[in-house]
Amino acid sequence: MDRDVIELVLKEFADEQKSTNQHICELIKTAGELKGKLKDFEKHIIKPQTVSDTKPFLLLLQKGLMDIQTIVENQPKSITKKFQLLLFPEQDAKLFYKIVFGRWFLWLTVILAINNIYKWGVHDSDNQKEIKIEQLENDKIRRSWKYLYKHGKKSIQKDMEKAFEHSTLIQDN
């Protein structure tokens, strides 16, 4: 049985060897053909062929240039906006200055009015804060006066009434 297996393996190996040899021969033949083509290509590179009649190429080139020129002419033109500050306009100077200065003076008065309103608002807000602070102080004094008057002795109450009468007399004068 070992002998049969060995013969079978050797036959398969021999078949593979034959196919490998055939492939190698084909590769050598293809390499030789490619060498020949490469030599022909090198000859053409070293000595290029010259074209004797160039009129068809020139006509084709001119036609292509004409097509490009018509395409460029037919494209929409780009509009560029430019900003100018004209102190001395070229045309209609009176109308220009009437519009420009009319708007400038209008905006100047609007800005000044807004500025004054803002200043008045800040001033009014400060005044309101001061009034609130004074009211809080007066309420504190009034509450302490009433507390002292309710919980104090008779002599303190008399002194407080005298002080109250004295302060109203000073205010009336």
DSSP states along 78-105:
PP-------SS-SS-HHHHHHHHHHHHH
44/29 Cα distance (integer angstroms):
23
Q: What is the pLDDT of residue 132?
A: 95
| Per-residue pLDDT tens over the stretch 124-160 | 999 999 999 999 999 998 898 888 888 888 888 888 8
Amino acid identity for residue 72 in this structure: V
The DSSP call for residue 48 is P
pTM score: 0.35
| Per-residue pLDDT tens over the stretch 157-173 | 888 888 888 887 776 65
**The two structure tokens encoding residue 19:** 């196919």
| Per-residue pLDDT tens over the stretch 46-88 | 876 676 777 888 888 899 889 988 888 888 777 778 877 766 6
Going by C-alpha positions, the residue among 85, 89, 106 that lies closest to residue 97 is: 89
172 touches 165 (CB < 8 A): no
Q: What is the pLDDT of residue 48?
A: 67
What percent of the chain has a predicted confidence (pLDDT) above 90?
32
More confident residue, 26 or 88: 26
Q: What is the pLDDT of residue 73?
A: 83
pLDDT (mean) for 27-36: 92
149 touches 138 (CB < 8 A): no
